[in-house]
């Protein structure tokens, strides 16, 4: 007679995945560079006046997908303090908040782009969201690829298909009459739209993440799909209304300005952005298509959204939508 042998396992070896609250929609009502702020208050007023009707339209669209419930929509604004810092938070943020209010908009959550690179964690140690996403990249080798090009973890470049074969210097490998081959998008519909994305650059051993890659991290954070040892990355910090600091690093990576705001993380996102971000966000979709997301965060979203009858696309990239108004 066989005896069953009990198996013991340390529960600490399997960290609990933090459960998050979800809005139906995370609505980004701006992402501006420091140079935009340098143009003065009129630039901010024009921005929010242009965004307002589009924000209303997006809210109404979400409500149309909910039969018996009021949509939970939170707004956010991303400030680029990663590539430049022309002024301080105490000088920049009050006019920004006032300009939004003047257009009838409320910024529920304010985020710093540098927080997508490095941020303080829950236990006061530093977390590195961009590096975490980099390690989650899973390249899909296109049909017929030779594997000649090194992986993205070494090159810092990610594509959505097969690149043009590299010309090799060895006469034994090259032929004088070799035909040129074009790049090819993996899932092209008729004709290719090939994209090769620089995720980071390095100088003197220091890595600088690209705008496209940080924007990809930003989308994953808003969708509630990033964890660090089970903990959510870039959890919002309530604002105590005591005034803004003079140093960007003293400002939390995500600040909850509105105490009555719907949850920061959401089932889907929409970003109302200047048209200059269109190529960046194309790159974001390519990155999101090649990021491995843990099963538990995906399960949480599927279970919650399903219980509310709110349809969420299976693909992570398809959960992000955009508006590029003419006036921005």
Would you state the pLDDT for residue 168? 54
Would you state the pLDDT for residue 10? 47
- The model carries a pTM of 0.89
285 versus 16: the higher-pLDDT residue is 285
User: Is 119 a residue whose pLDDT tops 80?
Assistant: yes
User: Is 169 a residue whose pLDDT tops 60?
Assistant: no
User: Is 1 a residue whose pLDDT tops 60?
Assistant: no
Would you state the pLDDT for residue 167? 60
Region of 102 please: left (phi>0), alpha (psi -120 to 50) or beta: alpha
Would you state the pLDDT for residue 255? 96
- Per-residue pLDDT band for 125 (boundaries 50, 70, 90) equals confident
CA nearest neighbour of 31 among 69, 83, 102:
83
Q: Write the secondary structure of the chain as one string of H (helix), E (strand) and C (coil).
A: CCCCCCCCCCHHHCCCCCCCCCEEEEEEEEEECHHHHHCCHHHHHHHHHHHHHHHHHHHHHHHHCCCCCCCCEEEEEEECCCCCCCCCHHHHHHHHHHHHHHCCCCCCEEEEHHHHCCEECCCCCEECHHHHHHHCECCCCCCCCCCCCCCHHHHCEEECEECCCCCCCCCCCCCCCCCCCCCEECCCECECCCCEEECEEEECCEEEECHHHHHHHHHHHHCCCCEECCEECCCCEECCCCCCCCCHHHCCCEEECCCCCCCCCEEEEEEECCHHHHHHHHHHHHHHCCECCCHHHHHHHHHHHHHCCCCCCCCCHHHEEEECCCCC
- The residue extents of the domains of the chain are 21-128+210-275+294-323
Would you state the pLDDT for residue 79? 94
Would you state the pLDDT for residue 23? 97
Query: pLDDT per residue over 178-211, tens digit each?
Result: 678 888 888 888 888 889 999 999 988 889 999 9
Would you state the pLDDT for residue 9? 45
Query: pLDDT per residue over 58-83, tens digit each?
Result: 999 998 888 777 899 999 999 999 99
55 versus 122: the higher-pLDDT residue is 55
Matching residue, tokens 């242009």: 50
170 versus 135: the higher-pLDDT residue is 135
CB 320 within 8 A of CB 285: yes
- Per-residue pLDDT band for 140 (boundaries 50, 70, 90) equals low
- Per-residue pLDDT band for 7 (boundaries 50, 70, 90) equals very low
What is the rounded average pLDDT of the residues 240-262?
93
User: Is 139 a residue whose pLDDT tops 90?
Assistant: no
């Amino acid at each position: 007679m066989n005896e069953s042998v009990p198996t013991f396992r340390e529960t600490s070896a399997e960290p609990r995945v933090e459960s998050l609250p979800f809005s139906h929609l995370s609505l980004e009502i701006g992402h501006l560079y420091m140079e935009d702020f340098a143009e003065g208050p009129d630039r901010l007023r024009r921005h929010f006046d242009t965004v307002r009707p589009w924000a209303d339209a997006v809210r109404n669209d979400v409500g149309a997908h909910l039969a018996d419930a009021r949509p939970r929509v939170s707004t956010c604004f991303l400030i680029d303090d990663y590539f430049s810092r022309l002024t301080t938070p105490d000088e920049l943020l009050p006019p920004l908040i006032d300009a939004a209010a003047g257009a009838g908009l409320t910024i529920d959550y304010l985020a710093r782009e540098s927080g997508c690179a490095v941020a303080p964690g829950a236990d006061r140690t530093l977390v590195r969201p961009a590096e975490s996403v980099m390690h989650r990249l899973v390249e899909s080798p296109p049909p017929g690829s030779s594997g000649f090009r090194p992986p993205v973890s070494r090159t810092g470049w990610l594509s959505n298909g097969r690149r043009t074969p590299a010309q090799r210097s060895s006469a034994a490998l090259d032929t004088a009459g070799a035909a040129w081959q074009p790049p090819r998008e993996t899932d092209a519909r008729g004709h290719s739209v090939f994209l090769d994305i620089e995720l980071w650059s390095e100088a003197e051993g220091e890595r600088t993440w690209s705008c496209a890659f940080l924007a990809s991290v930003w989308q994953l954070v808003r969708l509630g799909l990033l964890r660090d040892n089970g903990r959510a990355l870039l959890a919002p910090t309530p604002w105590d209304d005591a005034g803004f600091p003079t140093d960007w690093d003293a400002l939390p990576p995500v600040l909850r300005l509105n105490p009555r705001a719907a949850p920061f993380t959401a089932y889907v996102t929409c970003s109302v952005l200047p048209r200059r971000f269109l190529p960046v966000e194309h790159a974001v979709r390519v990155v999101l298509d090649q990021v491995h997301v843990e099963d538990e965060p995906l399960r949480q979203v599927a279970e919650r959204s399903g219980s509310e009858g709110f349809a969420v696309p299976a693909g992570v990239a398809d959960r992000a939508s955009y508006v590029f108004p003419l006036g921005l």
